[in-house]
A = this chain, B = another copy of it.
Amino acid sequence: MLAGPKKLSLRILQDFSGSNGSLEKSPRLQGAGPHTRAGEPGVQRRHRDGDAGRTEGSKLVALFEHPLYNIPVPEVTEKDKLFVVNPMEKFSLRSSGSDEWVSSSKAETLLPTGKTAYDTYPTWLKFHVGINRYELYPRRDPLMPTLLRDLATQRIVSSVQKSGGTQLKLIMTFPNYGQALFKPMKQTRDQETPIDFFYFSDFERHNAEIAAFHLDRILDFRRIPPVSGRLVNITKEIRDITTDKKLAKTFFISPAGNVCFYGECSYYCSTEHALCGKPDQLEGSMAALLPDKTLAKRHSWRSPWRRSYHKSKKAEWELNPNYCAQVRETPPYDRGHRLLDLIDMTVLDFLMGNMDRHHYETFEKFGNDTFLLHLDNGRGFGTHSRDEPSILAPLQQCCSIKKSTYLRLQLLATQPYRLSDLLREALATDPLAPVLAEPHLRALDRRLGKVLAVVGRCLARAASPEEVLVDDVGSRV
């Protein structure tokens, strides 16, 4: 891996403890209102879903214009931002003529051209700079089309295996030091996870990573880093450029003449599970990396509703119907909206059939009062013909949900905002469209109905609706 990007980011970004007081002045970083953002010209609205020509009759545009998707987020103060930016640090190509990007300490806040230092940042860095306590990226983020396009099209200058995890994934680096987490296609869109498979031996699916990002955004969570599909040339964009000898050694030519590799990992890294191009083109997901952990530490939380990860043992929550009462008394679930955030995540996971949410993360800087990162969604969308009710256990057992989430789920169950239509539309802009087979899209509507039914049963049993629907919107809708 290149050492460059980390060092570079360290100069531009300073975490809260090292704040030098001077805030970067780009409009995107100011806590502008939800409906309009200074510096976001109208023309950019057409671009916000990555496809300038699709607003006519677009359900997605209608959705994001709906009042439920315009509830203001709290004001973002300095302490609510992940980074304090040094406005003196410009991002520029080194004058030596090498293609290495460096930051120039001599830059002025306002450059002679009228641009700010922020304007010189590559999009990935702007994305990192925009992260705050409440969201990974804002609604109608003008950066999103560029971010996704960069993931899909920028030249890949380095590909190495990411350590950790059970299945093969690669860290890919772009010329501007942006990085992506690449997960290769292991299953075609039409394959379903065999019914006898355990969640812990299921494949990680590249298309699930892509679809999860869009689904999360449609639910207005914005807790998954941007992911784009990409057709990668595994010869030129992996084998020929990797410095990872262990990875390089696993490349071979298949009997059909295709280029294949399998890498080193604990699951499915063998000749029998090789990843093969056609002849060297292979689909994969490219997820924007979060800021390096040395810059923005994260806390990993074990989910209270974690499964046993054992063939026959059951977890406590599977045996104890009063499990939620216990969780409600346990920090950090005993205060704030953490439990409700976790239930949001549960809804996302049930919709996509992901049983593998053993942990979630938060940015340490924000303590317990912050959104939950929904990372690692590759085990979603494995089956469309069955639903897994146990994923909804937190909702079923706690009978609590944010009012805003519930209202949005109700909206997504109506014809003009039908969830499957919205996700289909969102995925149509991906380079690997159609990302999901139709049965997976249709399953979403069925599962949404089941989520609403669970809430319905909670409401029927409750003394008052407020017991179930926790008001996080007040008079804002």
**A residues bordering B, Cβ < 8 Å?**
195-199, 201, 252-256, 258, 260, 267-268, 271-272, 274, 276, 311-312
| Cα separation A47 to B337 with both chains bound (whole Å) | 76
Q: Is the CB of A198 within 8 A of B271?
A: yes
A255, A256, A268, A312: residue with the most chain B Cβ atoms closer than 10 Å: A255
Q: Are B201 and A256 in contact (CB under 8 A)?
A: no
- Could you tell me if A196 and B274 are in contact, using CB atoms closer than 8 angstroms? yes
Copies of this protein in the complex: 2
| A268–B272 CA distance with the chains assembled, in angstroms | 9
Q: How far is the CA of A195 from the CA of B195 in the complex (A)?
A: 25
Is B256 touching A196 in the complex (CB atoms < 8 A)? yes
- Shortest distance in angstroms between A170's beta carbon and chain B's nearest beta carbon? 19
Given A196-B260, A260-B196, A201-B272 contact (CB < 8 Å): yes
Task: A196 to B256: give the CA distance in the assembly, Å.
Answer: 5
Which of B195, B196, B254, B267 lies in contact with A198, CB distance below 8 A? Answer: B254
Contact A312 to B253, CB < 8 A, known contacts A260-B196, A276-B196: yes
A267 & B274 in contact (Cβ 8 Å cutoff): no
Query: Which residues of B have CB within 8 Å of A252?
Result: 311-312
The contact sample of 15 A-B pairs, CB cut-off 8 A, is A195-B258, A196-B254, A196-B255, A196-B260, A196-B274, A196-B276, A197-B254, A197-B272, A198-B271, A199-B255, A252-B311, A252-B312, A253-B312, A267-B272, A271-B311
A272 contacts across to B, CB distance below 8 A:
197, 201, 267-268
Taking CB as reference atom, which chain B residue is nearest A260? Answer: B196
Determine the chain B residues whose CB is within 8 A of the CB of A258 once the complex forms.
195-196
Extra 13 A-B pairs, beta carbons < 8 Å, given A201-B272, A268-B272? A195-B254, A195-B255, A195-B256, A195-B258, A196-B256, A196-B258, A197-B254, A197-B272, A199-B255, A201-B271, A252-B311, A252-B312, A253-B311
* Chain B proximity of A246: nearest CB distance (Å): 17
Which residue of chain B has its CB nearest to the CB of A355? B255
Q: How far is the CB of A166 from chain B (nearest CB, A)?
A: 11
Q: In the complex, what distance in Å separates the CA atom of A317 from the CA atom of B253?
A: 20
